[in-house]
């Protein structure tokens, strides 16, 4: 194993909403992604989803029992969406994020709105 530069990993692709797997920790993928604009409303029924904003700003809409709200994550912020919580990430500016999810977790969760062409519905791509 060699150290992995997140800067180099992020420079190796241009696709939005298309995470790359940079390493694994036990049964979890550490993924990086470039995002801008809207993702889709979706739910991960069996796992939490961890976000770390590396650059830019990420908004996450949440549908909770008490109603909808949006959390705003500036650069350097972390947030965990609890399992079973419907959420929709949105980046008003070009943003780079790091995600921690169980290996095999789909980027659009277990239940989701229709998936537009710009959203990658995979379990992440191997870093080139």
For 10-31, the pLDDT digits (tens) are 999 999 999 999 999 999 999 9
Q: Can you give the pLDDT at residue 108?
A: 84
Quickly count: other Cβ atoms within 10 Å of residue 82's Cβ: 12
pTM for this model (two decimals): 0.93
Of 67, 63, 106, which is closest to residue 88 (Cα–Cα)?
A: 63
pLDDT at residue 78 in the model: 98
- Pairing relationship of beta strands 125-126 and 20-25 according to DSSP bridges: parallel
Alpha helices in 1-128 (DSSP H): 6-11
pLDDT (tens digit, 0 to 9) for every residue of the chain, 128 residues total?
Answer: 889 999 999 999 999 999 999 999 999 999 999 999 999 999 999 999 999 999 999 999 999 999 999 999 999 999 999 999 999 999 999 999 999 999 999 888 887 888 888 888 788 888 87
Distance CA 37, CA 49 (A): 19
């Amino acid at each position: 194993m060699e150290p992995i530069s997140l800067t180099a990993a992020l420079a190796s692709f241009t696709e939005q909403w298309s995470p790359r797997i940079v390493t694994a920790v036990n049964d979890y993928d550490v993924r990086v992604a470039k995002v801008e604009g809207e993702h889709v409303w979706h739910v991960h029924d069996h796992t939490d989803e961890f976000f770390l904003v590396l650059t830019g700003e990420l908004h996450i809409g949440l549908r909770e029992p008490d109603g909808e709200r949006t959390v705003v994550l500036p650069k350097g912020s972390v947030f965990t969406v609890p399992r079973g919580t419907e959420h929709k990430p949105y980046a008003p500016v070009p943003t780079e994020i790091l995600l921690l999810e169980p290996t095999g977790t789909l980027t659009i969760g277990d239940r989701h709105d229709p998936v537009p062409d710009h959203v990658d519905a995979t379990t992440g791509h191997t870093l080139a």
